[in-house]
């Protein structure tokens, strides 16, 4: 039991160390209530979802659902994700 807990903590620390910092994402609330996330080149989709979830939590919502993802012409943020809060 102790070994598995230690292994889990090590895995969590490894993932945190390899993840994209939240400050690298452009997160914004749109007028229709959806959350837009501009993701940097090296970001993974689940990291963008975590950034959207953090924004949804501010309004008391607990989950997000992806509505759309699209490529942009912006070199710094080549992907934009649109999420709805639930």
pLDDT digits (tens, 9 = 90+) for 28-80: 999 998 999 999 988 899 999 999 999 999 989 999 999 999 999 988 889 99
pTM higher than 0.75: no
Residue 16 is assigned to a structural domain of this protein: no
Residue 65, domain member (yes or no): yes
Whether residue 34 is contained in a domain is answered as yes
Order across the sheet with 79-85: list the strands: 26-29, 35-39, 79-85, 64-71
**In the predicted structure, residue 81 carries a pLDDT above the cut 90:** yes
pLDDT of residue 76: 87
Could you give the number of structural domains in the chain?
1
Please answer whether residues 45 and 62 qualify as being in contact, where contact means their C-beta atoms are separated by less than 8 angstroms.
no
Position 56 in a domain: yes
Indicate whether 28 belongs to any domain.
yes
Domain that holds residue 61: 21-85
Let me know: does 37 contact 46? Beta carbons within 8 Å. Answer: no
Mean pLDDT in residue range 19-33: 80
Residues belonging to the chain: 86
Angle 70-41-51 from CA coordinates, rounded to 5°: 75
């Amino acid at each position: 039991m102790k070994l598995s807990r230690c292994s889990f903590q090590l895995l969590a620390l490894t993932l945190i160390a390899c993840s994209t910092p939240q400050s690298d994402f452009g997160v914004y609330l749109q007028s229709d209530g959806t959350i837009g996330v501009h993701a940097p080149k090296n970001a993974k989709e689940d990291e963008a979802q975590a950034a959207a979830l953090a924004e949804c939590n501010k309004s008391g919502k607990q989950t997000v659902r992806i509505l759309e993802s699209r490529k942009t012409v912006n070199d710094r943020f080549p992907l934009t994700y649109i999420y709805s809060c639930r």
